[in-house]
Amino acid sequence: MIKESFENKGENDKVDFKTMIMLAIATSIDALAVGITFSFYKVNILISTILIGIITFVLSNIGVLIGFKFGDKFQSKAEILGGIILILIGLKILLEDLGVISLFNFN
């Protein structure tokens, strides 16, 4: 993301069919993982699904509205910030798995 923020000045990226298929597969795998997790916990699937759907719909629409309003002005800065956040999340997960840091350990 950080690299692309410097390359795509003023261009609108189009998502091709191959990319859409890959995103659909990734989303399906994510949904499968959530479904399996829900089966281990005794949760009401119907209520959980409705809540997840409503929250996703509302937040997605808010994101689209903000994107339309501020997208052209802050596109490269937002891509840089998003890339930094993804790197930090990955670093945090790596350091936790290696045992270097331990967050929220209530033992």
pLDDT band, residue 85 (cuts 50/70/90): very high
All structural domains of the chain with their residue ranges: 2-97
Cβ-Cβ contacts under 8 Å for 98 (sequence gap 6 or more): none
Q: Which of 57, 38, 36 lies closest to 46 in space, CA to CA?
A: 38
Distance of CA 58 to the CA centre of its chain: 15
Task: Specify the pLDDT at position 104.
Answer: 62
**Residue 5 pLDDT > 80, yes or no?**
no
pLDDT band, residue 55 (cuts 50/70/90): very high
